[in-house]
Amino acid sequence: MKKRVAILISGGGSNMLALLRDMGGGDHPAEAVLVASNDPSTSGLAKAAAAGVLTAAVDHRPFGRDRAAFEAALLTHILAAKPDILCLAGFMRVLTPDFVNRFTGRMLNIHPSLLPLYPGLHTHQRALDAGDTQAGCTVHEVTPILDDGPILGQALVPILPEDTPDSLAARVLTQEHRLYPAVLRRFAAGDRKPIFL
Ligand code: GAR
Predicted confidence (pLDDT) per residue in 4-20, tens digit: 999 999 999 999 999 99
Same-domain status, 99 and 11: yes
Radius of gyration of the chain (CA): 16
69, 103, 137: which is the final residue of a domain? 103
71, 103, 135: which is the final residue of a domain? 103
Residues lining ligand 1, judged by CB closer than 6 Å? Answer: 9, 11-15, 89-90, 110-112, 137, 173, 176
Judged on CB neighbours under 10 Å (0-12, 13-18, 19+), 57 is middle
Same-domain status, 138 and 88: no
103, 122, 138: which is the final residue of a domain? 103
**Atom of ligand 1 lying closest to residue 9 CA:** 16
As for how many domains the chain has, the answer is 2
Residue 26: pLDDT band (50, 70, 90) is confident
Q: What pLDDT is attached to residue 150?
A: 97
Same-domain status, 97 and 179: no
Dist CA 113 CA 121 (whole Å): 10
The mean of the pLDDT values for the chain is 97
Predicted confidence (pLDDT) per residue in 149-188, tens digit: 999 999 999 999 999 999 999 999 999 999 999 999 999 9
Residue 176 sits in which domain range?
A: 109-197
CATH of the domain at 94: 3.40.50.170
- 119: preceding bond cis by omega (within 30 degrees): no
Same-domain status, 85 and 119: no
**Atom of ligand 1 lying closest to residue 176 CA:** 4
Q: What pLDDT is attached to residue 124?
A: 98
Ligand 1 center–CA 44 separation, angstroms? 12
Indicate the pTM of the whole model.
0.97
pLDDT over threshold 90, residue 25:
no
